[in-house]
């Protein structure tokens, strides 16, 4: 379960204070497909970074499975991200000159997994995203949809229990978007918690719960399933 309690984040723009996330509280139950929608600048991505341990909030706390993640040291947060959280980004964040296999393998290298075990786990993750036949291809030769699937494979290869996806369909056409959403739903059905950031209401409607953000605060919370 992910609990954010009165989370705020302040940035300074010259002398002006900006609060992209302002006293926001949410509970995301384990195994749910949760989406956060809102216009550009509403604080979606900042919130996702805070929930994912990438950006420390100015106030409030984030508790994941009973652990206040910002009470941990920097190294402990990094280890926690590696073991518990998987990220999928709009810009893929893949190494173009690496092969598909190497891109997925890197998450296991960070975790210190042996080379022998890595091969098996990478292949399983690539099969799960229907890219088993592309493992030797260079990422630069893949389509946008395929790149995003590699990104999903990398997010799940460590058996992360939570997946944070920041606009994963932002650069994709309708067909590839549907594919990505189907794969994320599949992960949710397998017991993982998926938090999706999107500005597409069509994508959000495929999830279990939608919260709408405006100026860093929740203005609507809708349970669909």
Partner 1 sequence: MKNSDKLRLVFREYRFGCLENIISVGLQALIFTIVILLFTVSFELDDVLSGYMAPMYSHGYGFTLFGYSQDDIPELEKQGFRDIEFYENGDAYGYRDNLSDIWFIKILAIMDGRDIWNSELDEIVNYIFFGQITFLALGVVMFIIMLNNISNSISMRLMLREKYLRMMSGLGCRKSILRSIFFMVFAFRSILAILVAVAAVAVCVDKINAYLHRIMLISLGFSCFSPAYIIGIGLISIVLIFFTFERQWRARA
Quote the least distance from Cβ 75 to partner 1, whole Å.
Answer: 5
Nearer to partner 1, 97 or 124 (CB): 97
Pick from 176, 175, 183, 178: which is nearest to 145 by CA? 176
Nearer to partner 1, 4 or 104 (CB): 104
Footprint of partner 1 on this chain (CB under 8 A)? 52, 54, 74-75, 78-83, 85, 87, 89, 91, 93-95, 97-98, 102, 106-107, 109-112, 154
Nearer to partner 1, 33 or 87 (CB): 87
Nearer to partner 1, 36 or 85 (CB): 85
Rounded to a whole number of angstroms, the distance between the first and last alpha carbons of the chain is 17
| CA distances for 21 relative to 4, 47, 128, angstroms | 11, 7, 35
Quote the least distance from Cβ 138 to partner 1, whole Å.
Answer: 11
Beta-carbon count within 10 A of 80 CB: 17
**Paired strand residues for 197:** 36, 166
User: What is the Cα–Cα distance from 55 to 11, expressed in whole angstroms?
Assistant: 12
Quote the least distance from Cβ 149 to partner 1, whole Å.
Answer: 17
Strands of the chain, DSSP E: 2-13, 16-28, 33-38, 59-64, 67-68, 85-89, 162-166, 193-198, 209-214, 217-223
Nearer to partner 1, 21 or 108 (CB): 108
């Amino acid at each position: 379960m992910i609990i954010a309690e009165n989370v705020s984040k302040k940035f300074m723009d010259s002398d002006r204070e900006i609060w992209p996330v302002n006293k926001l509280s949410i509970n995301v139950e384990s195994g749910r497909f949760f989406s956060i929608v809102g216009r550009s600048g509403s604080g979606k991505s900042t919130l996702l970074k805070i929930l994912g341990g990438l950006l420390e909030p100015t106030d409030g706390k984030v508790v994941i499975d009973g652990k206040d993640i910002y009470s941990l040291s920097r190294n402990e947060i990094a280890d926690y991200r590696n073991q518990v959280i998987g990220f999928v980004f709009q810009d893929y964040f893949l190494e173009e000159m690496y092969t598909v296999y190497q891109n997925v393998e890197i998450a296991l290298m960070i975790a210190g997994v042996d080379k022998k075990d890595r091969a098996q786990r990478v292949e399983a993750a690539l099969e799960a995203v229907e890219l088993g036949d592309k493992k030797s291809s260079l990422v630069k030769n893949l389509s946008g949809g395929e790149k995003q699937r590699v990104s999903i494979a990398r997010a799940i290869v460590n058996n992360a229990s939570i997946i944070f996806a920041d606009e994963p369909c932002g650069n994709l056409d309708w067909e590839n978007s549907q594919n990505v959403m189907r794969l994320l739903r599949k992960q949710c059905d397998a017991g993982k918690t998926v938090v999706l950031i999107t500005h597409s209401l069509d994508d959000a409607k495929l999830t279990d719960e939608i919260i709408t953000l405006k100026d860093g605060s929740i203005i609507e919370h809708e349970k669909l399933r």
